[in-house]
Structures are given as C-alpha cells and as structure tokens.
Structure 1
C-alpha cells in the first residue's frame, strides 16, 4: 500500500470532513513531510515530547511579553501537535503513553495560556476565567452530551452555516487548530481583550448552534412519528 493510500485510509484527510484550519495544517503542511519522518523511523512519542518541552517555553515568553516569538512558537506547537498523531496512525505506532502525553500537553497548555496572557497584559483574571469556562463547558458537551444525543438519530440533519460548510467537506466550529491560530494572531496584534472576547464567543456560539441543531432534529423526528 503506497503512501497516499495509507494516508487516506488512516487520516482525516481528503476523504473526510475536517475543520478549515485543520485542513491547512494537515494537508498543506504536515502531509508534505510525513513520509520523510516515517522513513527516518522517528517515533511519534519523540515528536510529542517536543511539545512537552515547547509549551512551557511559550508560556514563559508570553509572560516576558515576547509576543511575536511566542506566536511563532505557538504555530510550531500546532504543527507538531498534528504531526505526532498523524505519524502515529500512519506508522501504526499508536501508544497509550503517547495519547496520554498529547492530551496532557493540550489540557495544560490551553488552560494555562489564557491565565499567563492575562497576567502578562495586566488584565483581570476574570477575562481568562471566562475563556477557560467557555472552553471546558464546550469540551464537556462535546464529550458527554452531543455523542449521546447523536446516537438517537438514524440520520442527523444539519442546518444553516454548518450545513453549507459540511456540503463542501468542512466542519464549521472551533477546534485546537483554530484556537492556536487565534492565539498567535492576537499575540502579534497585542489585542488581548479582543482575544478573550473572540474565543469565548466562538465557543458559546458553537455550543448554542449545536444544541439548536439537536432540538430541530428532535422536533422533526417527533413530526415523522405522528
């Protein structure tokens, strides 16, 4: 099985829907050098360890107000974050330790980065707490509420903007890729309050939108049962 076939079978690439920014990282960047990493026999855990070392550096540079450098390293973190998972699945070297370490990196980084940004920018910590609460509330619903609800539908109907994007093989929503990109952009612009407002809005908007979609599907299902 050649490289392209294995990639398409094992990754969320061209054949499956993905988030817009995720497409940029996975298809336009990581896919180009993934085969080289596999040939060099680089273990995915070694790639994951790069981010374990990288995220404290990012937090440190943000705190010191080296925002451009922190933004650059955040983008590097995003690329590495996609690389380890793709490489693990492509080479068949998925491990429990690797997945736990990757999750640890993301959980610590995404919860800590907003606190450090607020401290660095001399903003009240409630700005960071609003984002953290919105993010974790969104994650909670994504892990426990939405999967349970979606299983109740033989066919789930999308509406509005999400349907328009899904018809074009993209998912409209906020994921780690978009989050890291927004952090980088606003670090460069030094617009920290706008960063907190934007990310909080994205999480709440996506959460409310998905709940509305479920309610509309439940309403249609009841209509068909009558």
Structure 2
C-alpha cells in the first residue's frame, strides 16, 4: 500500500465529530491540501510543531507594533500548523512525547499571552486581558476535570435544540481554539479591540454554563430512568 492509499484509509477511519471551525482547518485545508505533501516530504511532525515556536513570537511582535494585518496572517498560519502537526504525527505513526509537550507548550503560552499583548498595544486595561485569560482557562479546567468525568457516568448523552441538530451532522457547537483564533483575527482586522475581550469572555462563560446545564438535564433524566427500572 503506497503512502497516498495509507493516508486516505486512515482518514476514512477517523470519522468523528469536530467543531465547525476545526472542520475548516482540518478537513478543508490541512487534509485536502497539506497532509499528503507534508508526509511525502519526510519532515518529522516535531519539525512542523517547532515552526510555531517561531511564529507565535512573530505574532506578538506584530501586535505590539500595530502591524495587525501581518499579525492576522501569521495567526492563521499558526492555526493551520497547530492542526497539521498532530494530523501528520497520527497518519505517519510518528507520535512523540516531545512533540505533544511542545505543541501544548506553544498553545498554553500563545493563547494566554496574545491577549496581554493586544491590551498593551492599545493601552487597554490589563484587567480585560486577565478577564479573558481567566474565563478561557476556567472553561478548560471545568470541561476537563468536571464535565468529562461526569459525562462518562451517563448511560446516554442527550443533546437538545440547535446543538443536537449540529451533533446529528457530526459537528460540535461550542468554542474551541480554532474558533477563538478566528474571532481574534476578525476583531484585529476591524480594530474592535475592547469588544474582542468582552466577546471572547462571554462566549467561554456562556459555553461552559450551557454545558453544565446540559449535564444536569442529562443527570436528571438518567435518575428518572433508573427510578422506573
């Protein structure tokens, strides 16, 4: 089996739900145009990840000196690479501990520091940047250490309304890193700096509250089912 056939077979097997913007990056961009050329090139996934170690300081530099169009271009390059390295590692069987840690380091630093640099570049209160950082990290903490743990206990996870409509089509409705970077890019282009902080914070808070309510509804339905048995 040649490389093209091997990669296409793995792609068919990896059918899973994903966020809407994540789908654009992963399927419509990386999978369609970059994955096979990268695999053919022989470049190691860690080498791809290492490129973002150079790109995110460049983004911060451009933001600090008000070169927002360049910043947005490199934010999008960062986002594409952020998806490409992991996909390349899986499809070429080159997953490594250092690659995973380097990717996580890049994201943890970049996704937090970028808001501080935007605030500094526009002389906006640093407390707005801290507000976003707290909301974003609290969202991740609750999702990882509470929601995921509790959802595994459910016999069936029921979705409702618009979220169910998207889930039925293998799309997750919510905020992820891809959507966050897309919103940052859009707001930087239009110069909506203060609105950026409030919008991102609101989306993270709304998303986690919705998910908690959804969990509680599922838990109550599970209890009712148990009581009827």
- Whether TM exceeds 0.5 here: the answer is yes
3-state SS in 2 of match to 1:129: helix
CA-to-partner distance for each residue in 1:5-57, whole Å, 9 max, x for gaps?
12233x4xxx2111000111111110122111111111000100000111011
Between the aligned partners of 1:20 and 1:221, the Cα distance in structure 2 is 29
With normalisation by structure 1, the TM-score equals: 0.96
Q: CA deviation at 1:161?
A: 2.2
Between the aligned partners of 1:68 and 1:76, the Cα distance in structure 2 is 13
Structure 1 residues 76-87: aligned runs within 5 Å: 76-87=77-88
Structure 2 residue aligned with 1:4: 8
Structure 1 residue aligned with 2:37: 36
Q: CA deviation at 1:169?
A: 1.3
Query: Which 10-residue stretch deviates more, 87-96 or 143-152?
Result: 143-152
* Structure 2: gaps spanning 5 or more residues: none
Between the aligned partners of 1:45 and 1:21, the Cα distance in structure 2 is 24
Between the aligned partners of 1:177 and 1:185, the Cα distance in structure 2 is 12
With normalisation by structure 2, the TM-score equals: 0.94
- On the 8 A contact 2:155/2:222 being kept in 1, the answer is no
Structure 2 residue aligned with 1:20: 20
Between the aligned partners of 2:207 and 2:163, the Cα distance in structure 1 is 10
Structure 1 residue aligned with 2:70: 69
Q: CA deviation at 1:74?
A: 0.2
Between the aligned partners of 1:83 and 1:190, the Cα distance in structure 2 is 29
Structure 2 residue aligned with 1:210: 211
Structure 1 residue aligned with 2:180: 179
Between the aligned partners of 1:44 and 1:218, the Cα distance in structure 2 is 41
CA-to-partner distance for each residue in 1:137-168, whole Å, 9 max, x for gaps?
00001211011101111111112221121112
Are 2:125 and 1:132 aligned?
no
CA-to-partner distance for each residue in 1:157-186, whole Å, 9 max, x for gaps?
112221121112100011111011111111
* Structure 1: gaps spanning 5 or more residues: none
3-state SS in 2 of match to 1:71: helix
CA-to-partner distance for each residue in 1:115-144, whole Å, 9 max, x for gaps?
100010110011101100000000001211
- On the 8 A contact 2:17/2:170 being kept in 1, the answer is yes
Are 2:94 and 1:93 aligned?
yes
Extract structure 1 runs of 4+ deviating beyond 2 A.
none
Between the aligned partners of 1:41 and 1:8, the Cα distance in structure 2 is 22
Between the aligned partners of 1:201 and 1:164, the Cα distance in structure 2 is 23
